[in-house]
Each structure stands twice: as structure tokens, then as C-alpha cells.
Amino acid sequence: MNAFVADKALTPAEADGSGEPETLLRVDNVSLAFGGVKAITDISFDIRKGEIRAIIGPNGAGKTSMLNVINGFYHPQEGTITWRGTVRRKMKPYEAASQGIARTFQNVALFKGMTTLDNIMSGRSLKMHRNFFWQVLWRGPAEREEIEHRKKVEEIIDFLEIQAIRKTPVGRLPYGLQKRVELGRALAMEPELLLLDEPMAGMNLEEKEDMSRFIIDVNQEFGTTIALIEHDMGVVMDLSDRVVVLDYGKKIADGPPEEVQASQAVIDAYLGVSH
């Protein structure tokens, strides 16, 4: 395939015409080092529109670093990120967010003193056009906008079934519910690509089942593309369409879950066989 055709294949119209899956994001030959520590070495993979893409691998494999590159938190020394068919220039996380990439964090990052409602509302900030000065000068449009945002936030609260804790400061919530609120804040951005860093870490079985259901519902009902880091293999096998496996910063497998699970390189990596 020549470069011209490859470029065209990334546009929605072309993907529709050809029946090929549309690539939403592409990572090409990305390397990232912190001083002497190579977190990511020459990694390439893509994320297709509408899929649930799992990123797995042992501790320290470079999974979180990869998400941090995708959402603009880190800038790789080498390689490119192509978002909706355009190679991305260096950008800050808020710019990535305004282009439709939202995320949750491995360690919950919420405003602990604020209520569930206000934390989720904070996810709307990028979508708010009328700022403080508007409110002072002319309350009408700002108020109308505020009402619209509140409506959207209430929809998310209903969707995640967290009505009972809407006024509770999130610092007082059990960890599993904090994770759910954090998902709510990311959903409030109405992202096209949602990055979830271990959304089920530290949860009991029931909480994991709930979170799995919400992830599937977000994918199916809102059509949101999801990239998910997860250690629980059962969850990965159940949820994901395709899996990319990292080990010591390198990609060692990429494909459908059952294929990846059977790969000798993956089995060795998880058993800690020497490299």
C-alpha cells in the first residue's frame, strides 16, 4: 500500500467505502526514556474507532507511560501519534482532552473535598464557553449554559447509578465508588477516546462486575472508543476486542485476546522467564 492510499484509509468516508475498520489513533515507533530508564522502546500499534483495546503487561512494562504519551502528558523522544488521520504536534493534556481524549488515573485523582456532583461537573469545564466575566456581565447565556451542563451531569449520574452519593464528598466514599466517580468525570467530557488506567484495581468481585458492565455500556451506548489498562486477565478476555502486550517497554504481542493469551512470549513474560 502506498503512502497516499494509507493516508486516505484513515478518513471516515474512505473507511466507510472500503469497509475497512477506521483507525482513530496510531502510535508509530514511539520511544520514551526518563534519563537512563527506557520506559517505552519503539512501540507501534493502533486503536480502531469503536473498539475496546486492552493494554496489558507486567508491572513496570510501560503501560501508564504509554497512556501518558497518548494524552499528551509525556512527549516521546521518538515516534509519532496520529489522531484522526493527522500527525499530532506536541500538545498538553488539556489540548488532547479538547480534541476528545479523556482519561482516568491509576491512582484516583479527584477533588476529595468536593461532592460527586461537583467532581463530575469539573469534567465539563472544557465544554463551558461562558466564563466568569460573562456571568458578571450578562447572566442569561451563562445560566442557560450552566443548566445544560447540569442536565448532562445528571444523565451521567443516572447512567452510573450513583444518585445516592451525588452530594457526598468523594473523600468519604469507598475506593470502588471513587473509581466510578472518576469514570463519570471522564464521561462528562463526552470523549471520543477514553483511556482507563486500571479502572478495576483494588475492587472486589462485585465492584469489578459493575465496572465491567459500565465500560461495555459506555462503549455500546455512547459509541466511545476505549483503551484500557488492566491486570485481571479474565476482565481483559471478556471486555476487549484486541490486546497489545508490553514487557520491559517493548511490544511483545498484539491481537485478539485468545490469540494473545496463547502466545508463548506473553506466557513467558507473565511467568517472569528471563529476557
Ligand X SMILES: Nc1ncnc2c1ncn2[C@@H]1O[C@H](COP(=O)(O)OP(=O)(O)OP(=O)(O)O)[C@@H](O)[C@H]1O
Q: How far is CA 138 from each of CA 121, 132, 141, rounded to the nearest angstrom?
A: 22, 10, 7
Which residues are at the interface with ligand X (CB under 6 A)? Answer: 34, 37, 39, 57, 59-65, 106
User: How many residues belong to the chain?
Assistant: 275
Between CA 66 and CA 71 the distance in angstroms is 9
In the complex, minimum distance from the CB of residue 232 to ligand X, in angstroms, rounded to a whole number: 12
| CA 119, 153, 151, 125 torsion-angle sign | positive
Task: Give least dist CB 20 to ligand X, A.
Answer: 31
Q: How far is the CB of 41 from ligand X (least distance, A)?
A: 11
Cβ closest to ligand X, residue 6 vs residue 109: 109
Q: Per rule CB under 5 A, is residue 71 in the interface with Mg ion?
A: no
| Nearest distance, CB of residue 53 and Mg ion, angstroms | 16
Query: H helices within the chain, ranges in order?
Result: 3-8, 12-18, 63-70, 93-98, 116-122, 132-137, 139-159, 175-188, 205-222, 233-239, 257-261, 264-271
Q: Return the number of the residue (64 or 240) whose C-beta is nearest ligand X.
A: 64
Binds 37: which of Mg ion, ligand X, none (CB < 5-8 Å by kind): ligand X
Indicate which of Mg ion, ligand X, none lies near residue 31 (CB less than 5 to 8 Å, by partner kind): none
Residue 11 binds which of Mg ion, ligand X, none (CB < 5-8 A, kind-dependent): none
- Work out whether 64 is an interface residue with Mg ion (CB under 5 A): yes
Q: How far apart are CA 148 and CA 248, in angstroms?
A: 46
